[in-house]
A and B are shown apart, each in its own frame.
Chain A
Amino acid sequence: DVVMTQSPLSLPVTLGQPASISCRSSQSLVHSDGNTYLNWFQQRPGQSPRRLIYKVSNRDSGVPDRFSGSGSGTDFTLKISRVEAEDVGVYYCMQGTHWPPGVFGQGTKVEIK
Chain B
Amino acid sequence: QVQLVESGGGVVQPGRSLRLSCAASGFVFSTYAMSWVRQAPGKGLECVAVISYDGINKYHADSVKGRFTISRDNSKDTLYLQVNSLRTEDTAVYYCARDNNADYWGQGTLVTVSS
A:30-52 near B, CB below 8 Å: 37, 39, 41, 48-51
Given A48-B108, A92-B44, A92-B45, do A101 and B35 touch, yes or no (CB 8 Å)? Answer: yes
B46, B47, B101, most chain A CB atoms within 10 A: B101
Instruction: Categorize the interface residue count of chain B.
Output: 20 to 34
Instruction: Please measure, in the bound complex, the distance between the C-alpha atom of A51 and the C-alpha atom of B2, giving whole angstroms.
Output: 14
Q: Are A37 and B105 in touch, CB under 8 angstroms?
A: no
Q: Are B95 and A48 in touch, CB under 8 angstroms?
A: yes
Instruction: Categorize the interface residue count of chain A.
Output: 20 to 34
Q: Is A69 an interface residue (CB 8 A)?
A: no
Inter-chain residue pair count (beta carbon < 8 A): 63
> Could you tell me the distance in whole angstroms from the C-beta of A43 to the nearest C-beta in chain B?
8
Q: Is B50 an interface residue (CB 8 A)?
A: yes
> Contact flags (1/0) for A77-113 with B, using CB distance below 8 Å?
0000000000000101010100111111111000000
Instruction: Please measure, in the bound complex, the distance between the C-alpha atom of A60 and the C-alpha atom of B106, giving whole angstroms.
Output: 17
> Could you tell me the distance in whole angstroms from the C-beta of A112 to the nearest C-beta in chain B?
20
Q: Is A76 an interface residue (CB 8 A)?
A: no
